[in-house]
C-alpha cells in the first residue's frame, strides 16, 4: 500500500461502478465524506469505466487486480455481486489495501470465515462492512437503551419488515439476479441483510432458528420471496422475523419486549420506549384480587406502572452511507473505532444460511450450523439452475 497523500485523505478505490458504486462516488465528490477522495474505479463494463472517468477524472481499470496493482488507492469498497465480496476483500488485504465490503459479507459462512481469518492476520489494515443502518441515530440510541439494561432482560423480539416490494421487472433486468448461482438467494441476501444485522446487533445472536420460507411464491424467481423465521435465544426467550417482496404497502415494525419494559419501532423512524417502574413479574406478584377485579372492570390505570418516551431523529438520505465511509476513513487515519467492523458481517450471513437450511430440511437449525451441509444444499440448487458454476 502506498502512503497516504499529503492531503491526509483516504484514496478510495470503487470496485463496481453500478448504482451503488456511482452513488458512493457522488457522495465523495460532493464533499459528504470530508476525509476521503476517489482514488480509482474498476469495472468490467467499458461504458461504465468511461462514465467514471468523465464524471470524476480518476484512473479507471478493467478489473480489481489491476486496480489493486495500480498504486492509486489506499482502500477499496466492493460494490459487486455478493459472491465476490470475500474474494475481493482478501485480495485487497493481501495487497496491503484497507477493505470495506458491501453487505452481505458473502453468501455462505465458509467464504466469509476465510475473509475474517485473513483479516485477523492483518490487524494493521482496516476491515469494515457497509452496515449503514448502524449509523442510523435511532437504532444507535435503541442499542444504548438495551445495552444499559433499561428494559431488562429480553424476553421476546419481533420484526416484520415487508417494505421491500419489488415488481417482476426488477428481477428480469439481470440474468444473475434472484438466482442461487448468481446472487445466492433472494430477500434474505439482497434486501433484508441490514435488518438481520440490526436484530442481532441490538438483541443478541440466537441459538437456533426454525423457518418456513417460500421460493418463487409471488414472483417468477428461484429464490426466496417470503420468509417467516422463529429464533430461540435460550432461557425461554424467542423472536420472530418476517420479510417479503410482494407486500405493496409493506410494514416495518420492530418490537423488543424486556422484563422491565418494551421498545416499539415504527417505520425505522419513531421508537416508543416503555420503562416499567419495577420488573413485570414483581408488578404481577404484588397485585391482589381487588387489583384483578379493577383490571377486568377497566378501573386499573396501567400508566401508574410505567413511563413512556418517544424517540425520533431526522436522518437525511445519504448521511448514513456517507457516515460509514467517513468512519472507515477515520479508522485508517487516526484509529477512530469502527461503527461496523468487517468481522461482524458473518453474523447475518450465518442467520440467513440457517434460515435457508431450516426451510430446506424442515428442521430447527443451530446457529453454529454444519457449513458443509449448507454448501452442499446450495450447490444442489445451483446445479439445478444449470447456469452458474458450483461453489
CA of residue 254 relative to chain centroid, distance: 15
- Does residue 4 register a pLDDT over 60? no
Q: Which three cell numbers stand for residue 71?
A: 498504486
Q: Which three cell numbers stand for residue 368?
A: 453454529
How crowded is the C-beta side of 320, counted as CA atoms within 13 Å? 19
**Domain ranges within the chain, ordered by starting residue:** 10-130+318-341, 135-314+348-385
Q: What is the mean pLDDT of the chain?
A: 96
Map residue 362 onto helix, strand or coil.
coil
Distance CA 360, CA 378 (A): 10
168-208 confidence digits (pLDDT tens): 999 999 899 999 999 999 999 999 999 999 999 999 999 99
How crowded is the C-beta side of 183, counted as CA atoms within 13 Å? 18
Map residue 311 onto helix, strand or coil.
strand
Q: Tell the burial category of 7 from Cβ atoms under 10 Å away from its Cβ (0-12, 13-18, 19+).
A: exposed
> Percent of the chain at pLDDT above 90?
95
Q: Which three cell numbers stand for residue 234?
A: 435460550
Taking CA atoms, 152 is separated from 257, 260, 305, in Å, by 9, 5, 15
46-64 confidence digits (pLDDT tens): 999 999 999 999 999 999 9
pTM of the model: 0.95
Report the relative pairing of strands 306-312 and 270-276 from DSSP bridges: antiparallel
Distance CA 172, CA 107 (A): 21
Q: Which three cell numbers stand for residue 111?
A: 467464504
Distance CA 216, CA 56 (A): 41
Distance CA 120, CA 99 (A): 13
26-43 confidence digits (pLDDT tens): 999 999 999 999 999 999
pLDDT of residue 3: 52
List, in order, residues 6 or more apart from 226 with CB less than 8 Å away.
187, 213, 214, 217, 218, 243, 244, 245, 246
CATH code of the domain occupying 135-314+348-385? 3.30.360.10
Query: Which CATH homologous superfamily contains domain 10-130+318-341?
Result: NAD(P)-binding Rossmann-like Domain (3.40.50.720)
308-320 confidence digits (pLDDT tens): 999 999 877 778 9
- For 301-326, the DSSP string reads -GGGGEEEEEEE----TTHHHHHHHH
- Does residue 1 register a pLDDT over 50? no
Q: Which three cell numbers stand for residue 345?
A: 458481517
pLDDT of residue 2: 45
Amino acid at each position: 500500500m502506498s502512503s497516504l497523500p499529503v492531503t491526509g485523505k483516504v484514496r478510495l478505490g470503487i470496485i463496481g461502478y453500478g448504482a451503488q458504486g456511482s452513488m458512493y462516488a457522488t457522495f465523495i465528490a460532493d464533499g459528504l465524506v470530508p476525509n476521503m477522495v476517489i482514488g480509482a474505479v474498476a469495472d468490467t463494463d467499458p461504458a461504465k469505466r468511461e462514465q467514471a472517468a468523465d464524471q470524476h477524472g480518476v484512473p479507471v481499470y478493467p478489473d480489481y487486480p489491476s486496480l489493486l496493482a495500480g498504486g492509486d488507492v489506499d482502500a477499496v469498497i466492493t460494490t459487486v455481486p455478493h459472491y465476490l465480496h470475500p474474494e475481493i476483500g482478501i485480495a485487497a488485504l493481501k495487497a496491503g489495501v484497507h477493505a470495506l465490503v458491501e453487505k452481505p459479507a458473502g453468501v455462505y459462512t465458509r467464504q466469509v470465515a476465510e475473509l475474517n481469518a485473513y483479516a485477523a492476520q492483518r490487524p494493521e489494515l482496516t476491515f469494515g462492512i457497509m452496515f449503514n443502518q448502524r449509523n442510523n441515530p435511532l437504532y444507535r440510541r435503541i442499542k444504548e437503551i438495551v445495552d444499559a439494561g433499561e428494559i431488562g432482560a429480553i424476553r421476546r423480539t419481533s420484526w416484520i419488515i415487508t417494505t421491500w416490494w419489488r415488481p417482476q421487472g426488477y428481477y428480469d433486468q439481470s440474468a444473475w439476479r434472484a438466482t442461487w448461482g448468481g446472487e445466492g438467494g433472494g430477500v434474505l441476501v439482497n434486501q433484508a441483510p441490514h435488518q438481520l444485522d440490526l436484530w442481532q446487533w441490538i438483541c443478541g445472536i440466537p441459538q437456533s432458528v426454525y423457518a418456513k420460507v417460500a421460493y418463487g411464491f409471488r414472483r417468477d424467481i428461484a429464490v426466496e420471496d417470503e420468509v417467516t423465521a422463529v429464533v430461540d435465544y435460550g432461557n425461554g426467550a424467542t423472536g420472530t422475523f418476517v420479510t417479503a417482496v410482494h407486500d405493496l404497502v409493506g410494514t416495518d415494525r420492530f418490537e423488543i419486549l424486556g422484563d422491565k419494559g418494551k421498545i416499539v419501532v415504527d417505520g425505522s423512524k419513531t421508537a416508543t420506549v416503555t420503562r416499567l417502574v419495577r420488573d413485570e413479574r414483581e408488578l404481577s406478584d404484588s397485585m391482589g384480587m381487588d387489583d384483578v377485579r379493577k383490571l377486568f372492570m377497566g378501573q386499573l390505570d396501567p400508566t401508574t406502572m410505567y413511563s413512556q418516551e418517544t424517540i425520533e431523529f431526522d436522518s437525511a438520505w445519504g448521511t448514513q452511507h456517507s457516515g460509514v465511509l467517513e468512519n472507515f476513513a477515520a479508522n485508517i487515519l487516526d484509529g477512530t473505532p469502527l461503527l461496523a467492523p468487517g468481522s461482524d458481517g458473518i453474523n447475518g450471513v450465518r442467520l440467513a444460511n440457517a434460515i435457508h437450511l431450516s426451510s430446506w430440511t424442515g428442521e430447527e437449525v443451530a446457529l453454529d450450523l454444519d457449513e458443509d451441509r449448507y454448501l452442499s444444499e446450495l450447490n444442489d440448487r445451483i446445479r439445478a439452475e444449470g447456469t452458474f458454476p458450483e461453489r
